Structure 1
Amino acid sequence: MPIQRHETDIPVAALLVAAGRGLRAGGDAPKQYRLVDGRSVLAHALMPFLAEPAIAQVSVVIGDGDEARYADAIAGLDTRRLATPTQGGSTRQDSVRRGLLALAASGFDGIVLVHDAARPFVSPAQIEAAIAALGTTEIAAIPALPVTDTIKRTDAHGHIAETPPRDRLVSVQTPQAFRFRPLLAAHEAAVGARMTTFTDDAALMEWAGHPVATFPGDPTNVKLTHADDFLRAGTRSAASLVTRVGTGYDVHAFCEGDHVWLGGIRISHDRGVLAHSDGDVALHALTDALLGALAEGDIGTHFPPSDPQWRGAASARFLDFAADRVRLRGGRIDHLDITIVCEAPKVGPHRDAITAEIAAITGVREDQVAIKATTSERMGFTGRREGLAALATATIRLPEQE
């Protein structure tokens, strides 16, 4: 059966704040649009939220005039659960409020995770921990890390005024989890009271009188603020991801019918294929290639043909599952290569459509998908037009295990 993942009966939305200018980080663009390991910081931050099955909707608050930058940043991502971006305000607090109002206008009510787009290394485990931390009674919960340095408070002249006990101090991160309606009400109350300088939503909820719980943070979930942070981020990203390659193979015999499915595209043909699902050899082979790179079994492990729920199923569901598994493990797909072996139908006229469909299913760019076709020179079962086959190779990168 497919791997079971964390889910909740309460609707969950994620709100990423990406409206800041990021001047301290340097560069000629806001820091959330700068590249780390070939992707924008915002794209890195978005990917684990888009891959989390418990999250029904992901919203982003962007800066005025950043529409083109945002469109470039999300190119190649799985955007099916990504809402139209909301224009932010002059402060982080106002940007979050505008994002919450947009969610309310869509009819949302449930749990909202508020995350800073400048934290690109948030893990799937940290997202699930944020959702779980609210439980059935908490209104707000935030990730916290023990403070290891001695903290001192200074006076107006720069002299030490106080040294708070370190054992009760924590530094906090995002994503922060909240019940949606209380958070929105607190934001509206703060505007009415002209309280506009809160730097995170937990502080605003404290001001509104709500208890805020904590759960363990993640030391790798760092915020990129200064230019040196990007140098360290590039080193961290390159060092922590290892390349894996998986291969897949599938074959189906022809039978009575008037079409075949190849790469998610329905192609008219004088035969059909004998299969439990829709018999798409290209997507089956590619699914196995991704699962092989993950070392997570094969397509039959997760979608056994003995299970009637997969009878006639679209193979895009299998490939989507495998690509989702890569993202949930904090990885990325680098390249997908498929060779289709058949005498007929001709693949060439459908190559572009197949490429676009596979790119859309897996959330990669079209230039990361290669589709090739060949015959077997009239030899073997494919040469005798008894069936067709596909071979696939998937190249991915996954976080290195300690």
Structure 2
Amino acid sequence: MAAGSGTRLAAGRPKAFVEVDGHTILERSLRPILLSSTPWQIVVVVPAELVDEAAALVPSRAAGFVSVVAGATTRQGSVAAGLAAVEPGVETVLVHDSARCFTPTAQFELVAETVERLGHGVVPGLPVSDTIKRVDAGGSVTATVDRSELVAMQTPQGFPRRALDEAYAAATEEHTDDAALFALAGHEVTVVPGASEAFKITTPWDLARAEMLAGDGRPRATPLRTGVGIDVHGFDAEQPLRLGTLDWPGEAGLAGHSDGDAVAHALVDALLSAAGLGDIGSRFGTADPRYAGASGEVFLTATRAILDEAGARIVNAAVQVVGNRPRLAARRSAMEEALSILLGAPVSVSATTTDGLGFTGRGEGVTVIATALVEVAAA
């Protein structure tokens, strides 16, 4: 929906055609939809005199999937015009306000998926944080509203296409959003979590906020980086087994300069790799006597400190143990809990065998593969 006049914005032209850091609000509102992996058709509803200008703003790679139609004098009439341009095979419709041009792709996908799962209307919303008062015509407070029951609506609002068409065809009065019209027609509407960045550009102050987010002064997105670590150790019957920081009584240990904890070592490599901070060999070399016989906890704790100092935050990690033994199933949860506490982030553990193939299949040792997701400081 981009047919509004933008009177409160007072920018001299319809809101969707006002620029934010060199790109129109309309262009910015299309980006998150174009990034979605979900198949889509986009219908852009604009003032009649700006149909050609709007069409020129559509990226060339998406032109075949985007229709631009003229709106009406009311929002409800404009939505109806947009619905009329939706392809016959489309079963789920999202109605989105272009003024919420920073709405993340995930919000579109969440609404669409929930509509298809529940079969009725879905709207994103945020809890109301301000205290709300009810006042009379003279401005006197008459009551304090329980804000736990209040939600601030956002877009896109999603609906089963046929039910929305019928609700619009039966509508006899104007509504401030599509969910209200849909509910009045007797249909259920469910609220899903919204996003703070999906705010609506309505006033000059909102536009200034948008400029800050989009321009050089914006808080930059924090990059996410992945890392992979692999560690291989042979069994040493003379050593106790320590794996995933747990002791395994009765099991042959793993040979190594330290305690041979291949799970901990693979995690260290994955974390350092993701953060761009080297690897276990460069940080904890075998020539350093401090790490002779050291436990996996020592390496993991030290690695977390290295990442903290560099301004990197561990988001999560995953470990897969490849080998015939030890059997992890009974202690998987305990290992996940111990590792998660040490790293301050969720760690998942899985195990597999090689069906008798290779040194792990012959029971000569284990291989551990770890992956990590790390949030690094923005440049």
* TM-score normalized by the length of structure 1: 0.53
Structure-to-structure mapping, 1:339-350, within 5 angstroms? none
Question: Is the Cα–Cα contact under 8 Å of residues 33 and 73 in structure 1 kept in the other structure?
Answer: no
Provide structure 1 residue ranges, at least 5 long, that are not aligned to the other structure.
1-16, 245-294, 296-398
Aligned length: 226
Identity %: 37
SS at match of 1:29: coil
Rg larger for:
2
Preserved CA contact (<8 Å) 1:144 1:216: yes
Q: CA deviation at 1:29?
A: 1.2
Shift of 1:133: 1.7
Q: Indicate the RMSD between aligned Cα atoms, in angstroms.
A: 2.4
Cα displacement (A) at 1:81 = 4.5
SS for the counterpart of 1:128 is helix
Aligned to 1:64: 48
Distance change (3 Å), C-alpha of 1:154 and 1:78: farther
Residue 142 of structure 1 aligns with which residue? Answer: 123
1-structure distance, mates of 2:85, 2:47: 15
Task: Describe the shift of the 1:182–1:153 C-alpha distance in structure 2 as closer, same or farther (beyond 3 A).
Answer: same
Deviation per residue, 1:80-112 (Å, 9 max, x gap): 453331111111111111111221xx3233111
In structure 2, relative to structure 1, the CA distance for the partners of 1:209 and 1:165 (3 Å cut) is same
Residue 22 of structure 2 is aligned to residue 38 of structure 1: yes
Q: CA deviation at 1:153?
A: 2.7
Give, as a single letter, the amino acid of the residue that structure 2 aligns with 1:218: A
Say if 2:4 and 2:14, in contact at 8 Å, map to a contact too. yes
* Counterpart-to-counterpart distance in 2, 1:25 and 1:151: 25
1:91 is the counterpart of 2:74: yes
Segments of structure 2 that go 5 or more residues without pairing to the other structure are 224-273, 275-375
The whole-number CA distance in structure 2 between the counterparts of 1:35 and 1:135 is: 35
Aligned AA (2:181): L
Q: Give the partner amino acid of 2:88.
A: G
Tell me: CA distance 1:127–1:81, structure 2 relative to 1, closer, same or farther (3 Å): farther
Q: State the alpha-carbon separation in 2 of the partners of residues 37 and 241 from structure 1.
A: 14
- Change in CA separation of 1:149 and 1:107 when aligned onto 2, cut-off 3 Å: same
Counterpart residue type for residue 107 of structure 1? P
Residue 277 (structure 1) aligns with: none
The residue that corresponds to 2:194 in the other structure is 217
In the alignment, is the contact (CA less than 8 A) between 1:138 and 1:213 conserved in 2?
A: no
The letter of the residue matching 2:105 is P
Whether the 8 Å contact between 2:125 and 2:151 is mirrored in structure 1 is yes
Asked if structure 2 preserves the Cα contact closer than 8 Å seen for 1:50 and 1:82, the reply is no
Corresponding position: 1:158 with 2:139: yes
1:3-402 correspondence runs (5 A): 17-74=1-58, 76=59, 78-103=61-86, 106-190=87-171, 194-195=172-173, 197-238=174-215, 239-241=218-220
- CA distance 1:111–1:156, shift in 2 (3 Å): same
Distance 1:236 1:400, change over 3 A: farther
What is the deviation of 1:241?
Answer: 4.2
| 1:129/1:157 CA distance change after superposition, 3 Å | same
- Residues of 2 paired with 1:400 and 1:116: CA distance? 33
Offset, 1:138: 3.1
C-alpha offsets along residues 326-379 of structure 1, whole Å, 9 cap, x if unaligned?
Answer: xxxxxxxxxxxxxxxxxxxxxxxxxxxxxxxxxxxxxxxxxxxxxxxxxxxxxx
CA distance in 1, matches of 2:55, 2:42: 15
* Partner in structure 1 of residue 249 of structure 2: none
In the superposition, relative to structure 1, how do residues 69 and 228 fare at CA in structure 2: closer, same or farther (>3 Å)?
farther
Q: Shift of residue 226 of structure 1?
A: 0.3
For normalisation by structure 2, the TM-score amounts to 0.56
Residue aligned with 1:55, SS: coil
Larger RCO (CA within 8 A; separation ≥ 6): 1
User: Which letter maps to 1:82?
Assistant: F
